């Protein structure tokens, strides 16, 4: 008896219970009732259950008798504004001296309109986009088509720019080119030995001194607008 009492005390005290084995729940030391015990609460109401509820289904009917209609503040404010009242104080006085009620709701007011009848062959959703042709994709036709479109756009743009330039362009002359040219700094003369400074050239290719003078004058007048150390290069036009 002492052994059974000790074992019962061990199993009823949670502090003396050994840790549970792996994968098992821990016992709390509580005693369970016998096999004849029924958990829950007993129902004493006998309402017939589901068969009675299905056989005698009660629907809710909205009663409008002895029900005072609500005030229609939207209509009151509208009529007040029509009368020339715009401030809050004037509208408050108007609502105190006037009364407009809403129409009582009836069962017909809750009826929803029947949905529109759709054709039998109507389909819902979004149509799928057409599939990409694999043959054109493999033949690189999309890139070729894009290049052709870009070339056509470039041709149209170039033709427009050329036409615009022709309409507003003035042909340049020799005088306008000389005016636009940048004056170059004068280059220092080449160094010569003193004994050769007074010596003339060994060859003279001009037929007479007047031709030489004209050529040198033309060269000197154009040297300011040409590139190079001696002014014999291309024109320096901005």
Please list the rounded mean pLDDT of every run of 10 residues in the chain (238 residues).
49 75 79 82 75 74 67 90 89 90 68 72 83 84 91 90 72 77 72 83 82 86 76 69
DSSP-derived letter for residue 48 is -
pLDDT at 62: 61
pLDDT at 6: 47
Predicted structure pTM score: 0.23
Q: Which structure tokens are listed for 180?
A: 């636009």
How far is the C-alpha of 201 from the C-alpha of 141, rounded, in Å? 72
Residues near 223 by beta carbon (within 8 Å), at least 6 away in sequence: 184, 230, 231, 232
Q: What is the pLDDT of residues 52-85, one digit of tens each?
A: 777 777 666 666 556 677 889 999 999 999 988 8
pLDDT at 13: 74
Please write down the HEC assignment for all residues of 12-29.
HCCCCCCCCCCCCCCCCC
Residue 201 to residues 81, 189, 197, 198: CA-CA distances in angstroms? 112, 16, 11, 10
pLDDT at 184: 66
Which residue is listed with tokens 């096999």?
Answer: 35
**CB neighbours of residue 225 within 10 Å:** 20
Q: Which structure tokens are listed for 162?
A: 């050329």
Task: Check if the beta carbon of residue 94 is closer than 8 Å to that of residue 78.
Answer: no
Q: Which structure tokens are listed for 104?
A: 């009582």
pLDDT at 9: 62
∠ at Cα 168 (164, 170), nearest 5°? 130
3-state secondary structure of 29: coil
């Amino acid at each position: 008896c002492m052994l059974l009492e000790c074992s019962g005390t061990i199993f009823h005290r949670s502090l003396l219970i050994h840790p549970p084995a792996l994968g098992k729940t821990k016992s709390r030391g509580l005693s369970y009732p016998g096999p004849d015990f029924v958990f829950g609460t007993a129902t004493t109401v006998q309402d017939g259950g589901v068969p009675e509820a299905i056989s005698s289904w009660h629907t809710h009917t909205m009663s409008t008798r002895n029900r005072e209609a609500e005030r229609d503040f939207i209509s009151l404010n509208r009529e007040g504004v029509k009368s020339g009242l715009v401030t809050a104080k004037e509208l408050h006085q108007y609502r105190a001296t006037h009364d407009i009620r809403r129409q009582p709701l009836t069962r017909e007011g809750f009826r929803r309109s029947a949905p529109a009848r759709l054709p039998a062959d109507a389909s819902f959703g979004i149509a799928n986009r057409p599939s990409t042709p694999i043959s054109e994709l493999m033949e690189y036709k999309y890139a070729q088509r894009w290049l052709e479109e870009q070339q056509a756009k470039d041709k149209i743009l170039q033709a427009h720019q050329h036409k615009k330039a022709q309409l507003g362009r003035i042909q340049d002359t020799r005088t306008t080119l000389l005016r636009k040219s940048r004056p170059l700094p004068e280059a220092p003369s080449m160094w010569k030995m003193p004994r050769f400074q007074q010596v003339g050239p060994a060859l003279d290719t001009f037929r007479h001194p007047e031709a030489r003078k004209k050529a040198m004058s033309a060269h000197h007048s154009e040297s300011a607008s040409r590139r190079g150390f001696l002014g014999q290069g291309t024109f320096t036009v901005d």
